[in-house]
Structure 1
Amino acid sequence: YPTDTVYGLGASIEVESSLDQIYKVKERDKSSPLIALLSDKKFVEKIAIIDELNRECIEKLIGEFWPGGLTIILDKKRIIPYNMVSNGNSVGVRIPSHKLSIKIIEACGGILATTSANISGESSPRSFEELSEEIKSRVEIVVDNNEKLKGIESTIIDMRRIPTILREGHIKRIEIEKIIGKVK
C-alpha cells in the first residue's frame, strides 16, 4: 500500500501470524523491528509510554511533523506483540500524511504494523511499478493508486531518553533541532 514516503507492507497488530508473514515476505531477519503507523495521535499512548521528562519535546515533534515523515521511538506497552519488535522494549510510531494510508490504517483499528515493501537489502519502492513481482506474489492485497511517492524513508528519532536520530530521512536534523534543540 502507498504511504507518504514509500510503499509499505502492513498487518494488524492483533494477528501475530500476519506479523511473522511480513518477515517471510521481505526475507527479513526477525531482529529488525516493524513500526506502528497510526491513524490518529490518540493511539500513541495506547501502544507506547511517553517518558515524562521528554513529554514536552515529543508533543512538539508530533505537533510540528505529524502527519508526516517522522517516526518516534518510545517504550512499548504490552499490547505490542513481541514478534513485531524483535522481543525488544520499544516501538516506532508515526502518522503518515497520506489519505489512502490513513483509511487503510483506520480499517485495521487505527494501528498498523508496517515496514517498506521491498525484499531486505533492496531499495524501497516509490510506486506500484517499482514493487517487485516477488513482493506482489507473496501478499494478499496490493493497492495501486497511480501515484509516485516521495521515495525517502521517514526520519527515526529515539525519544526514550536523550533524543537521538537513528536515521535521517524525510525530515532533516536541522528541522528537528529548530523545534526541540540539540539532538544526538
Structure 2
Amino acid sequence: MNLEDNLQIKRKLLEGALLIYPTDTVYGLGAVIDNEESLKKIYEAKSRAFSSPLIALVSSVDKIEKIAHIDEKNKKMVKELAKNFWPGALTIILKKKDIVPGIMVSNGDTVGIRIPDLKISLDIIEMAGGILATTSANISGEPSPRSYAELTDEIKSRVDIVIDGGECKIGEVSTIIDLTKSIPKILRKGAISTEEIKKIIGEVEV
C-alpha cells in the first residue's frame, strides 16, 4: 500500500468503515472500537450472534493498559507471554476497561487482546489508533479464511474495504488464554500449543 492508500484507509476507518485485511493467522474483519454502529455492522456482516465477543488487535504492548486492567497477579504472566509469543498467535483475556464498548464483548467484563506478527496488520491497526476490534472474516459457521482466495464473495460484499495480502503465513487461528481465572485457562487451542505456554507460565487449565 502506498501513502495515498494508507491515508484513504485511515480516513474511512475513522469514519466507521468495515475492513477485511490479512493477519498472520487468518483474514480479519475489523473496525475502530469507539464506533458502536461499526461494531454492530461487524456482527451483521458475519450473521453472528451478539453473544460472541470480538477481540482487540493492538499495535504495541503499551496499548494493553489503555483497554485492560493488569493486576499484580497477572503482570508477570502478561510480561512473559508477551515477551515469548507477541507479536504472534496468542490472544490473552484480561479484565476490560470502560473504553471497550459492551457490544464488543457481549456485555461481559473481559476482553481478548493480541498483537499480530504481520507488518501490514500492524500498519492498519495503527491507522485505527492502535486498537482494532476484530474477528475472522467469514460468515458465522464457515471456515476462517487462511488466504485471500478463501474469502467468500458474500463476506467481501458486506464490507467497505478489502485488502489482498495473499496467504496468511500461519493459516491457523490464535490460541486463547484467559488470565482472569485463578489458574490460567486455555479457551481455544490454536497455533501455539498448551505445552509451549506451560513452559513459560507453569500450570494452565485446558
Q: Provide the TM-score with structure 1 as the length reference.
A: 0.98
Q: Structure 1 CA distance, aligned partners of 2:148 and 2:57?
A: 20
Do the aligned partners of 1:49 and 1:77 also contact (CA within 8 Å) in 2? yes
Structure 1 residue runs of 5 or longer lacking an equivalent are none
* Stretch deviating more after TM superposition (147-156 or 61-70): 147-156
How many Å separate the matches in 2 of 1:106 and 1:182?
Answer: 34
Secondary structure of 2:161's aligned partner? coil
Question: Cα–Cα, structure 1 residues 74 and 148, in superposed 2: closer, same or farther, change >3 Å?
Answer: closer
How is 1:8-87 mapped onto 2 (pairs within 5 angstroms)? 8-87=28-107
Residue 136 of structure 2 corresponds to 116
- The one-letter amino acid of 1:95's match is I
* Distance (Å, rounded) in 2 between the aligned partners of 1:68 and 1:29: 27
**Percent of aligned positions that are identical:** 62
Task: Measure how far apart 1:29 and its partner are.
Answer: 0.5
Report SS of the residue matched to 1:78. Answer: coil
Structure 1 residue matching 2:173: 3-state secondary structure: coil
1:125 to 139, 145, 149: 145
Q: Partner of 2:194 in structure 1?
A: 173
User: 1: distance between equivalents of 2:104 and 2:163?
Assistant: 23
Which structure 2 residues correspond to residues 120-159 of structure 1 after superposition, within 5 A?
120-159=140-179
- CA displacement 1:17-41 (0-9 Å, x = unmatched): 0000000000000000000000001
8 Å CA contact 1:16, 1:81 repeated in 2? yes
Q: Distance in 2 between matches of 1:149 and 1:29?
A: 29
| Residue ranges of structure 2 left out of the alignment (5+ in a row) | 1-20
Tell me, yes or no, if the aligned pair for 1:6 and 1:116 is still in contact at 8 Å.
yes
CA distance in 2, matches of 1:20, 1:73: 21
Question: Residue 96 of structure 1 aligns to a residue in which SS?
Answer: coil
TM-aligned CA deviation for residue 182 of structure 1: 1.3
Contact 1:2 1:149 in 2 (8 A): no
CA distance in 2, matches of 1:150, 1:133: 23
> Distance in 2 between the 1:88 and 1:82 partners?
7
Q: One-letter code of the match for 2:35?
A: V
- Distance in 1 between residues matched to 2:89 and 2:100, nearest whole Å: 22
Alignment partner of 2:185 out of 139, 146, 164: 164
User: Aligned to 2:92, what secondary structure does the other structure show?
Assistant: strand
What code does the residue aligned with 1:181 have?
G
- Tell me the TM-score normalised to structure 2 length: 0.88
Paired letter, 2:71: D
Q: How many residues align?
A: 184
Partner secondary structure for residue 124 of structure 2:
helix
1:148: how far off? 4.1
CA contact (8 A) 1:50 1:160 kept: no
